[in-house]
Amino acid sequence: YGVPGMSLAVAKDGRLLLARGYGWADRDAQEPVQPDTRFRIASVSKPVTAFAILSLVDDGKIALDAPILTQFDQRAAARAKEPNDPRWNQITPRHLLQHTGGFDRGASFDPMFRSRSIAEAEGVAPPANGDAIVRYMLDRALDFEPGSRYAYSNFGYLLLGQLIESVSGQDYETFVRDDVLAPMNIRDMALGRTLLEHRAPKESRYYASGPRASVFESTTPRVPRPYGAWYFVPMPAPAASFA
């Protein structure tokens, strides 16, 4: 795949045996990968989100099998309007954790990658944030009965991330950093950003062939696929954190 660099860590019985970087973190600047180079972990964020949800279940703040729409506070977008499809009221956090919530991107689409068109439909400046995406999806029918089958869903994990914020009173990044990762002595987590100029210190640079349309404005020149072809801000819980 022409990957310019990677890092590798090996642990056994609670001890770190190997931590090394290989290749380039920034090929153009000839910056080598270090053991602590930051990488986007994409959907590996989902297990982190699941852990956060289950910790709030243990604390009695989330009911795993109660309808998720009843568990948001009044400020949440998911409480802003009645869903068009009454089956929305059957969706529980367990369904979303297990990708059985009723959303099937193969049968319809993945709203996490339609941020510009959703912004236009919702009458907000592009790209659409998480609240706008939720409002848009509340107007759509589900793809199947919640709990009846499996279909991988990024949007389901957006809802879980927003539930974490609603019941904890903290933003997703703060709650995960302080309540999930810090007790495990993981102290270098941050959220990824959309544009190359917002790349965090020690974060690897990404390379992909072929420019794509920008999520920001239709008049924006075509952009490199890793930097502007999708919008990271609404996606911390499904796909956008890095460590």
Any idea which residues carry the catalytic annotation?
Answer: 43
Which candidate, 80, 53, 17, 90, places its Cα nearest to that of 167? Answer: 53
User: Which amino acid appears at position 188 of this protein?
Assistant: D
The rounded distance, in Å, linking the Cα atoms of 40 and 230 is 14
Residue with tokens 């999520």: 215
Which residues does 243 contact at the CB level (< 8 Å), separation at least 6?
38, 39, 41, 186, 188, 189
Query: How many alpha carbons lie under 13 Å from residue 192 in its C-beta half-sphere?
Result: 30
Which candidate, 22, 7, 27, places its Cα nearest to that of 207? Answer: 27
First to last CA, the chain: 23
Burial 199-223 (b: 16+ CB within 10 A, else e): beeebbbbbeeeeeebbbeeeeeeb
Q: What are phi and psi of 79, to 5 degrees?
A: -105, 5
